[in-house]
A and B are shown apart, each in its own frame.
Chain A
């Protein structure tokens, strides 16, 4: 709302336009608030003393009866008689200014209407709340069933309280504080407040075990009956004294299930690598199993007490990674020289320097003779022995009668690097017949031969030797 600009005109002097403006503004205020007036008769006007030299000139109504209005026009009386001249009216001050001045005996009164403090504005006239209207609203508010819907009612609070109490007793949604257990290491007891009504599925309780658990521990909660305490995998739980455990009841199995229990298994310290740790059904363990890891480890021992061709090597206890190294056993005799030439033993191929194969047996000489050649290339009919099935090529062969004979031939076949045949390089077959006969046959490779694991050698030329049994020995 804009206001009248009573700007300082640059002088301290109050000039008449200022007064006029103020009077107009006051009048507007009075109109706006509808100040009431009251008419009064014979309002005494008292002299306003100015100075001893200026007396009986101004007379004024008492306080409370000033602020005269112009309409109706105030009636001024002097000594009870109305006067209409010789004075001016100061409406605001409720006063008259005489000219000329009166005398000290003169008495002045006024019939005037003046503004009083009361006004005609009512709450209704300006649309404001009346006291009774406000009271009615207060009463209605107080009596309303839910005067503040944004705030909880008593019923709401009661319902909430009931809900909280119900929740506090709901040990499925929140586990109960079972306190520190009592009982024994295999039969724990505990209690909570409020007490559980029954053991229902998933109802939970948190306990502090007072002692280490024994075998197959149970828990009796508020005397609802002892129930086994199990791990999730079904094994009996293992509790440590002083440990805090959360248990949930399994309504199907009738067991308390230890929550957050991840450790299980039946490993022992010897099952676990040395220095490693693990948690098992029996608790934490530290491994003691030697870690043989990589590399080669001497066998704890060897044995040949098994099927032919097998060598047992006893392992050292511990872990092997299975990809590197392994077991070994030393034997100074396990060298190529000690293995027959060409024979492989555990991958080591023998050179035969210290070991030669041999075989022996019996054989029946041929039933008919065949032609062989002597050292002088003379053909001789002789009965012969045929052998096959040797695992080596013999360099030395000895054939002799199986039973005693009057003139037993002895056949010797020797290698040329072992002796120098008297009949030439091919005359490696010597047949000795007591007392003096010695015959040399040519190992010609056709009639008489040594080939691979077979040989055919002439033995005797007499018919008596047909189909005779003889013995033989062959060396590599």
Chain B
């Protein structure tokens, strides 16, 4: 199956905390608790501050490949790119 990018970010500023990337093949969706287990940084962020941006598989592929940086628009919950 294909699973799109899951991006954890700060709700107040849109800064990316962990871009889990996207996957295909023998993969499955993971829960927040599972992600916290492998990425302790997530445990350090207040739950109310932790935002999740789940994208479709392949979404913004070009933008992600060519941008210098990106963050999450806190209003839309979608990535904003810096080229």
Contacts and interface: CB of A to CB of B under 8 A. Distances in A.
Nearest to A402: B65
Interface in A347-400: 357-364, 386-392
Closest 8 CB pairs of A and B: A359-B25, A363-B21, A361-B23, A364-B19, A357-B26, A389-B30, A391-B26, A362-B21
A359 B23 contact: yes
B80 interface: no
Contacts, number: 73
Nearest to B64: A469
Given A389-B3, A402-B65, A360 B25 contact: yes
Given A357-B26, A358-B25, A359-B27, A403 B65 contact: yes
Contact of A388 (B16, B38, B64): B38
Interface residues of B, number: 23
A402 B19 CA distance: 14
Interface string B4-42: 010000000000101111111111111000110111000
A363 B18 CA distance: 9
A389 B26 CA distance: 9
Contacts of A403: 65
Contacts of A340: 26
Given A386-B38, A456-B38, A392 B21 contact: no
A402 to B, nearest CB: 7
B21 A388 contact: no
Interface of A: 340, 357-364, 386-392, 402-403, 453-454, 456, 467, 469, 474, 476
Question: Secondary structure of the B side of the interface?
Answer: mixed
A388 B34 contact: yes
Given A388-B35, A454-B38, A362 B27 contact: no
B27 to A, nearest CB: 5
Contacts of A453: 28
Contacts of B21: 361-364, 387, 469
A360 B19 CA distance: 15
18 contacts: A357-B25, A357-B26, A359-B23, A361-B21, A362-B5, A362-B22, A362-B64, A363-B19, A363-B20, A364-B18, A364-B21, A386-B20, A388-B37, A388-B38, A389-B27, A390-B23, A402-B65, A474-B25
Contact of B24 (A361, A363, A386): A361
Nearest to A451: B38
Nearest to A392: B26
Contact of B27 (A390, A402, A467, A469): A390
Nearest to A365: B19
A235 B37 CA distance: 73
Contacts of A454: 37-38
Contacts of A364: 16, 18-19, 21
Given A362-B22, A364-B19, A386-B39, A391 B27 contact: yes
Contacts of B37: 388, 454
Q: Looking at B16, B25, B35, B37, which has the most chain A CB atoms within 10 Å of its CB?
A: B25
A402 B65 CA distance: 8
Contacts of B5: 362
A390 B37 CA distance: 14
A340 B25 CA distance: 13
Contacts of B26: 340, 357-359, 390-392, 476
Interface string B38-56: 1100000000000000000
B28 to A, nearest CB: 5
Contacts of B35: 388
